Amino acid sequence: MKLDKIGIWSEIKLDIIKEYASAFTTIMRKQDWCRGYAYIDAFAGAGVHIRRKTGELIPGSPWNALEIANPFTEYHYIDIDKKKTEILERLAPENFNIKIYLGDCNEILAKKIFPTLQNKSKKRALCFFDPYGLHLYWETIIEAAKLRTTEIFLNFPLMDMNRNVLHKDLISADPDQIERMNKFCGSEDWQEILYRKGKDLFGDTYQMKIGSNVQLGKWFMSDRLQKAAGFKFVPEPVLMRNSKGGPLFFLFFATYNETGNKIVSEIFNKYRKYL
Ligand SMILES: C[S@@+](CC[C@H](N)C(=O)[O-])C[C@H]1O[C@@H](n2cnc3c(N)ncnc32)[C@H](O)[C@@H]1O
């Protein structure tokens, strides 16, 4: 199987997650009331990538989460690609409590993982949503938020959005792509944020893009993650760009926990300087 080649922006994303995962378990292991703390990689990949610049192998997010000083008490790795889960199975060390799932994370989280993380479980979890594109459903974010035990990192896939949905005139976008965007955001209101409706000289309707990625990110942060999902804290996301300055994704964090918010805000600010 061909492994993914990743750029510096993905390496920064991996470093951020690893740094926070390490802080998270260091804090959680001192909580006597806590019956366990889980790491969930909902779009896990193969666990290993190729560094685009040098061609060398580098660990992906599932592997990074195993390397931290104080491990999580359980690990849940999901991928829809059988070849990737097979590599994960082969790489998984036996001395960790790791479950690997083949399938759509939206279903697997709802049926198999989130039910074990209800408040009464006295567990906590860190869940990483790292899709290539619009493959995550809003209901899954809502289900994570409702648990109140689970913090999330979310890769908000601007590249897929900009390429396939957010055309200059929305009328020219494929309705199926618009539906993917609605399903990811759980709302059609992004159209109000980004577009102005009107009629041209021939009476034909247009929807012209007037808003920016930053406006979209601000809306998703305050209206969706905070107001609609109910996450108490959502620090300003980090915007990742490619070497030519093109926007690739926002990295969001959302939590109900003040300490988590403080730590991630500091980590984000540290990396923001270099972006
Ligand atoms: C960006 S990669 C993940 C990289 C990984 N988080 C890392 O940093 O090492 C996205 C992965 O999501 C998987 N995927 C796509 N749709 C999915 C879905 N609905 N459920 C679970 N996995 C999915 C793809 O097969 C791919 O391996």
- Please give, one letter per residue, the 3-state secondary structure of 42-110: CCCCCCEEEECCCCCEEECHHHHHHHCCCCCCEEEEEECCHHHHHHHHHHCCCCCCEEEEECCHHHHHH
In short, whether 43's Cβ falls inside 6 Å of ligand 1 is: yes
The rounded percent of the chain whose pLDDT value lies above 70 is 100
| pLDDT-based confidence at residue 1 (cuts at 50, 70, 90) | confident
Nearest CA to ligand 1 atom 2: 45
pLDDT, tens only, 59-72: 999 999 999 999 99
Q: Is the pLDDT of residue 274 over 80?
A: no
At 133 the three-state DSSP class reads: coil
Q: What is the mean pLDDT of residues 94-114?
A: 98
**Ligand 1 centre distance from Cα of residue 205 (Å):** 37
pLDDT given at position 124 = 98
The string of pLDDT tens digits covering residues 40-57 is 999 999 999 999 999 999
Query: Taking the CA atoms of the chain, what radius of gyration do you get in angstroms?
Result: 19
Q: Which of 43, 67, 106 to mutate to test the pocket of ligand 1 (most atoms within 8 A of CB)?
A: 43
Would you state the pLDDT for residue 273?
Answer: 79
The CATH class of 5-157+213-272 is alpha beta
For the CA of 64, the nearest atom of ligand 1? 9
Write down the pLDDT at residue 2: 87
- Ligand 1 geometric centre to CA of 169 (Å): 30
Predicted confidence (pLDDT) per residue in 162-187, tens digit = 999 999 999 999 999 999 999 999 99
Tell me the average pLDDT across 114-119. 98
What confidence tier does 243 reach under pLDDT thresholds 50, 70, 90? confident
State pLDDT tens for residues 187-227: 999 999 999 999 988 998 899 999 999 999 999 999 999 99
The pLDDT value recorded for residue 3 is: 92
Residue 13 has a pLDDT of: 97
- Residue from 14, 75, 79, 184 to probe ligand 1 pocket by mutation (most atoms less than 8 Å from CB): 79
The per-residue pLDDT of the chain, averaged, comes to: 96
Please state the length of the chain. Answer: 275
127: left (phi over 0), alpha (psi -120 to 50) or beta: beta
Atom of ligand 1 nearest to the CA of 62: 9
